[in-house]
Structure 1
């Protein structure tokens, strides 16, 4: 029987409505993450080719959204996906819950912007089992299903999805979390074992230092006729020039922030492609790679905290590439860093000569620079430069103790010049050595007693484990706590014993007499930095009282050769 046109149109509309009711379109959010920009890549003929990791993850997810066809296991309705948005995180560790992409998609899920989160792999969501469970549980409680391209499970329509009826997904996610955790453990084991061997061969560990380039050269052919490539390292001449400029300015007495300002004013980018900051400068100055040394184990993670270790604990070997600095130049930079750390940042570019050395004789607090400008009624300009007690200036808890800079500076310089007299210098050293020996012996005995107590405690820990009082886990925990303390105390006992038996001297040089005398006769801003460096080389601190004028200098001493 033939149907008329009206009947046919009604039939098609009815089928179309029925078809529309049988299809569920679910808004879907894409999530992607890489820990580093080299997360996804491949080697071709020994050369690592970086892929566009995040765009590739996004494209894979978009293709899956477009091509997804499935039916709800409960109501059998056909499910289609539609792209609602994307959250990508570059350089974010999967161990952390506090990430920019995580905060974004959890907020949008709470607002009901999507019902499916799609990702390339479960470990892109989180590497840590605990972190992964927390993120997925929050999403599922908000009615969001998680679809992984590597571990795909059929989706349900939003009305049929139940957080407490998702057993297959929980089993797959648990296995995926275990695999991710095992992968991380394997990577870290290989890193811990292989990196010291790499350092021994002279190759850099981790990311390359600013200015160092990794390149390849053909050294022959293999049995298949393919090129055999060898890695080598060389310096970027332009960046090496910047590194040398930073080191030169730093040793010339210029402050770190001033160095940053100079580089930023010239449009020179930092290693991260941003503006220069203090940490970027200090990292370069402290890095021994410029002195042809590669290091490992200098900043390990212990108990979740990354802490810089003493230099004697570093694994360090000679590098395979050329040096930028000599060993002596590098050590000179390290001494300057240590000196600035001792005197404080405000002293580096201060116009006052004794800032960082001068202490109030009443309260022991640092003295600060005072500047007073006035214009009298007759038009005469008045400028006063002096020193004042920082405790009084900031909190009013001491007396002003102020005095003109020139008076205090000259008094200190004349006192320092007495060291040019050999008899006076030897008399002072004899007195200092007698006092220092008594103090060193006292410190040595104290450290030795503390060392003995910790060794006795460690013996008790070993005995408790052998007698079965403590299990292996308790023994390991107690051992990890005690061994570093014992090693530190052992070094301190040895060093204090050496100090007690080693006479001290002052690092006085003959040329200091002429330099200081000329500056007293004709002070000028140009030579002030040179004088300051000499004073910081010789002096630990200077105690000062205004009335009556009292100055006491505490000199630095070094072991006598």
Structure 2
């Protein structure tokens, strides 16, 4: 009889000599029976729940080719821990008239396959539950359940029992600086791809020492992956976002999200890297990107979105049919419905640079109106005074409460000195002392008076004059364009007397209305081919006016 042996151990935590031990036991049985060993199939550090094992695949292939007459293993669970897989192997061996023998169970029959297969499957399920329980316990202790996020280092110390501790982390200052840089640049309008390219040019290693990529930064917001979605940076340890199930066809694990009520969340303020305000700015930008990305007037998934190539791409629309105004050639904007469907009669076009120049010049001239500058300075001071007034009132209330608590503490101390003491007085004193500590911790400091630049009006005027240059500055144009586009919901191109009239729609119109309201005579902003009208967003008055 030509005999073959199969041996396997599951993980790197087990000894590699486990395979040698299994082979030695099987060899004793072969020698006892007088069989001849022809092949040893082995898999090292691979789970028995998968078929993706080189030794196991070679075993089944040789069984089909009749390379051996009998198969030996230490036990059935060495061959597989999956009921379906062990049953399929038994069918194959039975069809080829190859007996399956194990040292633990002897010659295997259908009864062994049913019972041992069920026991192995239950063992895997029980092991998974115990592992999950252990990891949850570690998270409840505010420690890592496995893996270390970028921005942190593992702390390796010995516990009181002499055993090494696991899951302890501290902030890596160098990597934390990179994280703050990534969050700040994304919040200011830069794309993940541009941020990744800049980090690679600086020679900064990404997580696990690899190069940076857009997906490393943006990740998947639903699963909490990627730098921008890691809540640990805000001092929150979130675990159990997802579970894994095995694809029966490929044997690979697939992630499935868990409902939020199953998440485990622990506060770890000592691990905070990103302040709440910056985190919220990033989340707001991600939400806006997912909800407002429009290409050719139809919504697409955010991960397939592209940044607008030009300053006003995607927000220009035809004033006749409401369709998009797109680049019909390299330089000219025209109605998409004229070009693609022939359903609109607005055949006028405009050069892209002429449109951008006209809008920016119009904004510049309106923003330079002195009434607008004065209104800006006055509104700033009024808002500052209002906020300071609220803070002063809150501080006065807190000071009054603190004085009251201190008087009550003094009264109790005096009573104790006079020989009056009870258990209730002790509890009250401890409660008052705790309240006093809370008030002192949260006591706000007096704000400094506002410091306005003495040449604020001139500085404002100079910045506005250089508006076009700022939008073309590599260091500023991404953020400046992002903010400008956020104030404009649409740019309508309306044909009138053989030329295109540009109508701006959005909050920017209401801002410019401040200067417009104080003008005795509206200055004319017109070129050879266009004029401009501004329309305020919903809730603003006046709703329309001309520059």
Identify the TM-score tier after normalising by the shorter chain.
0.5 to 0.7
Is structure 2 residue 27 aligned with structure 1 residue 79?
no
- Residue 290 of structure 1 and its aligned partner are, at CA, apart by 2.1
Secondary structure of the residue that 1:69 maps to in structure 2?
helix
Is structure 2 residue 268 aligned with structure 1 residue 329?
no
Is structure 2 residue 205 aligned with structure 1 residue 205?
no
Q: Match for residue 26 of structure 1? A: 3
TM-score using structure 2 length: 0.54
Secondary structure of the residue that 2:477 maps to in structure 1?
helix
C-alpha contact (below 8 Å) 1:205/1:295 kept by paired residues: no
Q: 2: CA distance between counterparts of 1:212 and 1:320? A: 14
Q: 2: CA distance between counterparts of 1:104 and 1:364? A: 65
Q: 2: CA distance between counterparts of 1:99 and 1:402? A: 64
Q: Match for residue 519 of structure 1? A: 467
- Residue 292 of structure 1 and its aligned partner are, at CA, apart by 1.9
- Residue 317 of structure 1 and its aligned partner are, at CA, apart by 1.9
Secondary structure of the residue that 1:332 maps to in structure 2?
helix
C-alpha contact (below 8 Å) 2:234/2:275 kept by paired residues: yes
Q: Match for residue 175 of structure 1? A: 115
C-alpha contact (below 8 Å) 2:2/2:70 kept by paired residues: no
- Residue 316 of structure 1 and its aligned partner are, at CA, apart by 2.0
Map residues 251-270 of structure 1 onto 2, 5 A cutoff: 251=187, 253-261=189-197
Q: Match for residue 292 of structure 1? A: 235
Q: Deviation digits for residues 491-536 of structure 1, max 9, x if unmatched?
A: xxxxxxxxxxxxxxxxxxx999986664247752433212222135
Compared CA separation, residues 184 and 366, structure 1 to 2 (3 A): farther
Secondary structure of the residue that 1:338 maps to in structure 2?
helix
Compared CA separation, residues 58 and 371, structure 1 to 2 (3 A): farther
C-alpha contact (below 8 Å) 1:205/1:294 kept by paired residues: no
Compared CA separation, residues 29 and 93, structure 1 to 2 (3 A): closer
- Residue 153 of structure 1 and its aligned partner are, at CA, apart by 3.2
Q: 2: CA distance between counterparts of 1:118 and 1:401? A: 83
Compared CA separation, residues 229 and 406, structure 1 to 2 (3 A): same
Compared CA separation, residues 405 and 271, structure 1 to 2 (3 A): same
Q: 2: CA distance between counterparts of 1:415 and 1:311? A: 49
Count of aligned pairs between the two proteins? 396
Pick the aligned partner of 1:409 from 353, 356, 362.
356
Q: 2: CA distance between counterparts of 1:319 and 1:65? A: 53
Compared CA separation, residues 522 and 130, structure 1 to 2 (3 A): closer
- Residue 352 of structure 1 and its aligned partner are, at CA, apart by 0.9
Q: 2: CA distance between counterparts of 1:397 and 1:89? A: 66
Map residues 189-268 of structure 1 onto 2, 5 A cutoff: 189-190=129-130, 198-220=138-160, 227=162, 229-231=164-166, 232-237=168-173, 239-251=175-187, 253-261=189-197
Q: Deviation digits for residues 307-353 of structure 1, max 9, x if unmatched?
A: 44687874322127532222333333333333343435687655411
Q: Deviation digits for residues 374-406 of structure 1, max 9, x if unmatched?
A: xxxxxxxxxx3x55677888x778779864223
Q: Match for residue 505 of structure 2? A: 553
Compared CA separation, residues 196 and 86, structure 1 to 2 (3 A): closer
Secondary structure of the residue that 1:335 maps to in structure 2?
helix
- Residue 174 of structure 1 and its aligned partner are, at CA, apart by 2.8
C-alpha contact (below 8 Å) 1:25/1:80 kept by paired residues: yes
> What are structure 1's unaligned runs of at least 5 residues?
1-23, 42-50, 72-76, 155-165, 373-383, 423-509
Q: 2: CA distance between counterparts of 1:338 and 1:28? A: 58
- Residue 209 of structure 1 and its aligned partner are, at CA, apart by 2.0
Compared CA separation, residues 296 and 218, structure 1 to 2 (3 A): closer
Compared CA separation, residues 217 and 84, structure 1 to 2 (3 A): closer
C-alpha contact (below 8 Å) 2:6/2:79 kept by paired residues: no
- Residue 356 of structure 1 and its aligned partner are, at CA, apart by 4.5
Compared CA separation, residues 322 and 58, structure 1 to 2 (3 A): same
Query: Where is the strand percentage greater, Structure 1 or Structure 2?
Result: 1
Q: 1: CA distance between counterparts of 2:188 and 2:200? A: 19
Q: 1: CA distance between counterparts of 2:180 and 2:236? A: 17
For the aligned residue pairs, the C-alpha RMSD in angstroms reads 5.2
